[in-house]
Structure 1
C-alpha cells in the first residue's frame, strides 16, 4: 500500500471509508464491456438504468462514483472528430481574479463568483446540520441537502470552466497562458471571493 508513497511515485494513500469519496472501478477481467442506450449490464452487479443515453461502444473499465445522493459512471472510449477551422492562429490568455480571463483578442470572461452568490444558503444549511442530533435520520437528510448544494456550486464552476476552455479550443490554434501564481493571489480574500 505504501510502496509507491515511499518510492516517491505517488502521494500518501487515501484509505476508503463509507460516505467519503465513494467510488469503485469495474474492469471485467480485461474483457471489453459493451455500452449503449439507457441501461448497461455491469459485471457482478447486473443491469443498471442510466439517466442519459450512452453512446454505443465498448470500454475496458468503468468507474462509478457518488456525489451527494447521486451516482455517476465514467468510462473512456475512442471517437473520431473532424478538425475545426480556427478563426485565430494564436491567442494570449490573461488569467485574473476580478475578471476570470481576458484574451489578447479583446474578449473578456467575467468571474461569476458562484460561491459568493450561494454563500447565504450554504450558511443556512450548515447551521441546520449542526443543530441535528448525531446519528439521527434528520441529520443524515440535512447532510445530504448540504452536500447537494456544495455539488451544485462545484458543477456551476466546472460548467464555467468548460465553456471557456471549449471556446478557446474551438477558435484558436495556439493558446499562450501567462505564468502567474494565481493560487497566491486567491489567498488575498479582498480580491478572491468566488
Structure 2
C-alpha cells in the first residue's frame, strides 16, 4: 500500500524567495514547452511527445543558465503538465466538445512544483553481466566484478592450502586465509547490493525486475563464474524488504522475450549473447539491448498491477 503525507511548512524569507524563483522557472519551462509543441503542430503538422521535449532541456539550460538551479525532474514535470493538458484538449475535441486550447501561464498562474523522484516514479531493471543493472530510463549501474578482482589473491592462498600437509598448523593458517578472501568477496557483494537497493527504493515507487532462475542459468558453464560473481538475487531480496517499509512496490515479471521484444513496436528480434544493440527491422528502433529489455520489464511490471497502457518507450 502506497502512503501519502501532507505537511504545512513555514519557509524562511530566503527559502520563500528560492521557491518563488523555482515557480517562475517552471512557469517559463511550461510556456516554452507549450510554444514549441504548438509551433511544431501549426507549422509542420508534427506531434511532439513529452520525451522529445525532455531532450530539449539541456539546450534550454545553455541558453538560460538559471534553469540549472532547478532539479531536472521538476522541470520535466512542468513539461508533463503540458502533455496532460494537450491530451485532455484533444480528448475533448474527439468527444465532440469545443474546448479552449491550453493557455500560456502568466505570473501568478503557476503556483506549484513537484519533486517526482519517488511518488509515482516507475522503473524497470534489467540485470546483466556487461552492466550490473540497466534502468528503463537509460541509466546503467556498473558491474563491480568483486570475484574477478580477488581471483588472483584467491588462487594464491588456495595454492598455499593445497601444498600444506593435512593436520598441520600451516594448513589451518592457509585455510583461514582462503576463508577470509571468500568472506571479503561476500561482504563486498552484500554492501554493494545494499547500496543499489537503497538507491532504487529512494528514487522509485514501483520497481520491476525479471523473475530469474539463477540456478538454471548457472548450468551454462561459460557464464557460470560471471553469474556467480554478481548479486542479482540479493539485489531483488534487499530491494523488496526495503520497499515494503518505504511504501514502494517491487514486482517480478516473466523474463521470456524481454531482450528480444522491440520496446517500441513489439515484434521479436532474434539476438545472440554477443549482440549488444537492439536493431528493429520493423520500426527502426536502435538502442542498447539491456535498455530495450528494461523498458519491456517496466511495461510488464505495470501490466501486472493492472496498468494496461503506458508510454514506456522514450523514442
Q: What TM-score does the superposition give when structure 2 sets the normalisation length?
A: 0.32
Q: Cα distance, 1:146 vs. partner?
A: 0.9
The whole-number CA distance in structure 1 between the counterparts of 2:180 and 2:201 is: 31
Q: In the alignment, which residue of structure 2 is the partner of 1:129?
A: 161
CA displacement, residues 42-73 of structure 1 (integer Å, 9 cap, x when unaligned): xxxxxxxxxxxxxxxxxxxxxxxxxxxxxxxx
Unaligned segments of structure 1, at least 5 residues: 1-84
CA shift in 2, pair 1:130/1:191, >3 Å: closer
The whole-number CA distance in structure 2 between the counterparts of 1:187 and 1:111 is: 21
Runs of 4+ in 1 over 6 A off after TM superposition: none
Does residue 1:138 correspond to 2:175, yes or no? Answer: no
Unaligned segments of structure 2, at least 5 residues: 1-116, 230-315
Does residue 1:117 correspond to 2:152, yes or no? Answer: no
Higher strand share: 1
Q: In the alignment, which residue of structure 1 is the partner of 2:201?
A: 169
Aligned length: 110
| Matched residue SS, 2:124 | strand
Q: What TM-score does the superposition give when structure 1 sets the normalisation length?
A: 0.51
The whole-number CA distance in structure 2 between the counterparts of 1:102 and 1:87 is: 21
The whole-number CA distance in structure 1 between the counterparts of 2:150 and 2:180 is: 12
Q: In the alignment, which residue of structure 2 is the partner of 1:62?
A: none
Higher helix share: 2
Query: Which of 119, 125, 136 pairs up with 1:93?
Result: 125
The whole-number CA distance in structure 2 between the counterparts of 1:113 and 1:97 is: 9
Q: Cα distance, 1:97 vs. partner?
A: 2.5
The whole-number CA distance in structure 1 between the counterparts of 2:175 and 2:204 is: 43
Does residue 1:147 correspond to 2:179, yes or no? Answer: yes
Equivalences for 1:7-18 in 2 at 5 Å?
A: none
| Matched residue SS, 1:93 | strand
CA shift in 2, pair 1:182/1:139, >3 Å: closer
Contact 1:97 1:191 in 2 (8 A): no
Q: Cα distance, 1:183 vs. partner?
A: 4.0
Query: Which of 119, 129, 137 pairs up with 1:105?
Result: 137
Contact 1:98 1:111 in 2 (8 A): yes
| Matched residue SS, 1:118 | helix
Q: Cα distance, 1:186 vs. partner?
A: 4.1
Q: Cα distance, 1:161 vs. partner?
A: 0.8
The whole-number CA distance in structure 1 between the counterparts of 2:133 and 2:140 is: 6
CA shift in 2, pair 1:190/1:182, >3 Å: same
The whole-number CA distance in structure 1 between the counterparts of 2:120 and 2:217 is: 30
The whole-number CA distance in structure 1 between the counterparts of 2:143 and 2:216 is: 17
RMSD: 2.0
CA shift in 2, pair 1:139/1:191, >3 Å: closer
